């Protein structure tokens, strides 16, 4: 992972779902609705020069990843 790349994790929490930075106990935001947290994390990620959103399932495995900026196919 290149230095300076912002990474956001979307993970299950006691109150529903939360977005956080990796290895951090601090939540950026929470919601009982997973899609709301994913959408907000993507909004934040799009504002960064280079970023990634990693969405986890309830069992802790990776469900999907979003990378920004989106690379166009050649």
CA quadruple 4, 55, 64, 45: dihedral sign: negative
**Is residue 36 domain-resident?**
yes
**Is residue 63 domain-resident?**
no
**Is residue 50 domain-resident?**
yes
Model confidence band, residue 2 (pLDDT cutoffs 50, 70, 90): very low
Over residues 6-55, the pLDDT tens digits come to 999 999 999 999 999 999 988 999 999 999 999 999 999 999 999 999 99
The parent domain of residue 28 ranges over 6-57
**Is residue 74 domain-resident?**
no
Residue 21 neighbours by CB distance under 10 Å: 13
- Can you give the pTM of this predicted structure? 0.88
**Is residue 65 domain-resident?**
no
How many structural domains compose the chain? 1
């Amino acid at each position: 992972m290149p230095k300076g790349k912002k990474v956001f994790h979307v993970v299950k929490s006691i109150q529903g779902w939360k977005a956080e930075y990796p290895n951090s106990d601090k939540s950026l935001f929470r919601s009982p609705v997973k899609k709301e947290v994913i959408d907000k994390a993507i909004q934040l990620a799009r504002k960064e020069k280079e970023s990634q959103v990693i969405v986890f399932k309830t069992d802790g495995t990776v469900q999907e990843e979003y990378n920004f900026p989106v690379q166009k196919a050649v």
